[in-house]
Chain A
Amino acid sequence: MRRRPWALGVVIFLGLVMSGGGYAVATQTYQSEVGSPAQVEEGRKLFLSNCASCHGTNGEGAVGGPSLIGVGAASVDFQVGTGRMPGQASGPQLYKKPVQFTEEQILAMAAYVASLAPGPAIPAEEFLRADGDVTHGGELFRINCAMCHNAVGAGGALTEGKFAPGLQGVTEKHIYEAMVTGPQNMPVFSDANLTPEDKKDIISYLKYVEEFESVGGYELASIGPVAEGLFTWIFGIGFIIAITVWLGAKAN
């Protein structure tokens, strides 16, 4: 079958669009603290239609939500990028849920919120590579994070329905942004406290424990003495009771 002349043009056009788009994605950096005016304007529109009812038309805060002035692009990228925002229902804590916006829309809103006042920026790629000092990261994690998030980041309970979420499977970027912004009831670990290198080491530690199996055998979800005690009570003592019953029973 003979190809139509315009088919080649269509193929070339599609090829250019796709490779160009792929190139744009591959070279995307997270360092843009101030977005282009067009991006900020796009973000402002998205903000007005999706966020303003709780956070105020200028991000100044309202009855339903806190002020976003000075929270920075990192905060928007974390909250919207993990699906916590837009919030679904009020409660002790917002849950992680399917993300409602595209990456581009999130960056546009982040650029708009960052344009309101200076705040923590979306972290640079070089601190998200998880190839830092795992030992140092582990020590920092145990001192600063493990009391809430558990020694291997399995998460834990707080007061009145609040909890520190598990950190397995959370992207490097979102871990970094959580440290630098302190979402919800988490305290802030600014760069003056834990330097970007420290944060990189902590991320490296978390990715290390996520990747390598526990040398202590089966972890039982790593949640510590409750699960381990329950296992021992049910299976350990159950086995002993079963043997005792067998010892005392007469043979048939």
Chain B
Amino acid sequence: MSELDKYSAGSRTDIVRPIADPGLEPHRERMTDKSERHARNAEKQVAIMFVISIIGAIIAVWGFFAFPIVDGDLGATRNNAFWMGIGMALSMLGIGFGAVHWAKTLMPDNEVSEERHIARSSDEARAQAIEIVKLANGESGFTRRKLIRRTLYGALAFFPIPAVVIFGDLGPVVGDTLKQTMWRPGTRLTRDPTGIPIKASEVTIGSVFHVIPEGLSDLEEHKLEEKAKAAVLLVRVNPADLKEDPAKASWSYDGIVAYSKICTHVGCPVALYEQHTHHLLCPCHQSTFDLADHCRVIFGPASRPLPQLPIAVDAEGYLIAQSDFLESVGPSFWDMRK
């Protein structure tokens, strides 16, 4: 029986050998094997690396005390982390490099090959295992007692069900929160971050205002969630430059248009506005929207225009929302239609 035939069929991976096994390459002596001087040098080098490791540990401890972390001073934290990190890196790398250099230069490097042991258990062990299974089956009556066996299957099928029910209770139900923002009919457009309302007369041609809904700054909770949905970019362009859909012409006010700042691709804030081209660029993936043409996508991965906020002017001259956005803001999702 050849060496290969001892393996089971499943572990035979190298029966066909198109190229003959060249065997081990001839052993080559290292300089450290040939010359005592080189061996002594290698020994010193390893020792130096271990000493560097010791110095590194000392540097780390010194850095910790020499540059204490001062509350509110980020520069102090930086210095502390820098010296601790340098010291600990030297400490660990010194041990690692020293050990590898030691093994490579001074420990024996004679090539040996070890045959893989046979994966199959001995026939006696296999027979014994089958005996154990049969004995357990006979003693428990697993095959004989059908009632017990079948009710056990049922119990195993039912026990994960409570976990599935609990998963449904992991967080608040999303409901309509993704489809609604803070904008309501009559909500004033206010400056981010001060919350000061904006008069239409203040928005000169070419001006850009970063807008949050009135009352957002006063929210006690979920302020960032609401801001992330309701953020708006307000721009006035020359009314002659606007290419407005007649159905949406009443959404703007004398060249002032308001669009959601949340990119319809993956939700980055779209706010790079070019005054003369009227292009609005998203910094994350370069989606480009034509602000003068209802924020039509003219480049990039976004798949639909930025939602427009219909605006009007109240009796005091302040800009107000006519309603909430008429479509969902931000990235598309499966039941986004309102």
Contacts and interface: CB of A to CB of B under 8 A. Distances in A.
A185 B276 contact: yes
A183 B30 CA distance: 71
Interface bin, chain A: 20 to 34
A252 B28 CA distance: 9
A182 B206 contact: yes
A147 B283 contact: yes
B193 interface: yes
B288 A159 contact: yes
A190 B274 CA distance: 16
Contacts of B206: 182, 187-188
A217 B209 CA distance: 34
A187 B30 contact: no
A193 B207 contact: yes
Interface residues of B, number: 42
A250 B288 contact: no
Contact of B274 (A156, A159, A192, A217): A159
Looking at chain A's contact residues, the main secondary structure is: loop
Interface string B17-49: 000000000001011100000000000000000
Contacts of B82: 217
A147 B272 contact: yes
A187 B28 CA distance: 73
Interface in B198-224: 199, 201-210
B32 A251 contact: yes
Looking at chain B's contact residues, the main secondary structure is: mixed
B208 A187 contact: yes
A143 B281 CA distance: 15
A58 B77 CA distance: 60
Interface in A17-73: none
Contacts of B299: 159
A158 B78 contact: no
A251 B277 contact: no
Interface string A151-189: 000001011001010000000000000000010111111
Interface of B: 28, 30-32, 74-75, 77-78, 82, 100, 104-105, 109, 191-193, 199, 201-210, 235, 269, 271-277, 279, 281, 283, 286, 288, 299
28 contacts: A143-B193, A143-B210, A147-B269, A147-B272, A147-B283, A158-B281, A159-B279, A159-B281, A162-B274, A164-B272, A182-B206, A182-B207, A182-B275, A184-B275, A185-B274, A188-B204, A188-B205, A188-B206, A189-B208, A190-B207, A192-B203, A192-B204, A193-B202, A215-B77, A247-B100, A251-B30, A251-B31, A252-B30
